[in-house]
């Protein structure tokens, strides 16, 4: 048994303090906080994607090789797909006006929706830009007259980092969902 296994076993077997039911106003505040956080994230992603699209449109205009131009334009299209998926999968929904258990169910469903979106980020966020980036990098390699692996390695590492960060956030959301589930089991 490794040190990681021992630590994991200790963490899983630790005593969990009794949870108190969430007051309705605290639940509403947490739900509103989630909406604001998701809204800020989506606005930030939209601005960043817009800037990247402008840069790649400029690249399509400036760089001479057709493969570089095609890759740049495909990357812009990939950004559009990514933004559409961000809106479809991970936008914040308005919270219900009613109070009580339905608000708890709504908040849990929103946490699960965000968790699922973040857990699958490789498919709807990263994958749409991969073809354009690969073609763009290949075109740049042809323009330079020699092949180097480092642009591809750096691109792959950045994408892997994006996936890792989002999966870590999905695990955090799952912990929040588990805590809510524990509350509902203990609430009479």
Could you read off the pLDDT of 8-40 as tens digits, one per residue?
555 555 554 444 555 667 777 888 888 999 999
Number of domains in the chain: 1
DSSP for 28-66?
Answer: HHHHHHHHHHHHHHHHHHHHHHHHHHHHHHHHHHH---H
pLDDT of residue 103: 78
The average pLDDT across 149-162 equals 96
pLDDT bucket at 106, cuts 50 / 70 / 90: confident
Query: Do the Cβ atoms of 53 and 79 come closer than 8 Å?
Result: yes
- The answer to whether residue 48 scores a pLDDT higher than 50 is yes
For residue 58, what are the domain limits? Answer: 23-186
**Overall size of the chain counted in residues:** 188
pLDDT digits (tens, 9 = 90+) for 65-104: 999 999 999 999 999 999 999 999 998 887 766 555 577 8
pTM score of the predicted model: 0.77
Say if 8 falls within a structural domain.
no
Say if 121 falls within a structural domain.
yes
Say if 12 falls within a structural domain.
no
Say if 95 falls within a structural domain.
yes
The average pLDDT across 147-159 equals 96
Say if 164 falls within a structural domain.
yes
pLDDT of residue 159: 96
Say if 120 falls within a structural domain.
yes
pLDDT of residue 19: 44
What crossing angle do the helices spanning 101-119 and 24-62 adopt, rounded to 10°?
Answer: 30
The single residue listed with the structure tokens 């203990």 is 186
Say if 96 falls within a structural domain.
yes
Say if 10 falls within a structural domain.
no
């Amino acid at each position: 048994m490794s040190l990681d296994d021992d630590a994991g076993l200790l963490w899983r077997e630790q005593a969990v303090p009794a949870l108190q039911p969430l007051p309705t106003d605290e639940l509403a505040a947490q739900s509103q906080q989630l909406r604001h956080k998701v809204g800020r994230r989506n606005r930030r992603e939209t601005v960043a994607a817009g800037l990247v699209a402008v840069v790649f449109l400029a690249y399509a205009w400036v760089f001479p090789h057709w493969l570089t131009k095609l890759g740049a334009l495909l990357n812009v299209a990939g950004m559009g797909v990514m933004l559409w998926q961000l809106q479809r999968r991970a936008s914040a929904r308005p919270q219900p006006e009613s109070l009580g258990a339905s608000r708890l169910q709504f908040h849990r469903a929103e946490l699960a929706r965000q968790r699922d979106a973040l857990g699958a980020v490789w498919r709807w966020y990263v994958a749409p830009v991969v073809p354009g980036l690969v073609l763009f990098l290949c075109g740049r390699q042809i323009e330079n007259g020699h092949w180097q692996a480092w642009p591809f390695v750096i691109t792959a590492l950045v994408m892997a980092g994006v996936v890792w960060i989002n999966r870590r956030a999905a695990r955090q959301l799952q912990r929040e969902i588990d805590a809510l589930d524990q509350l509902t089991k203990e609430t009479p």
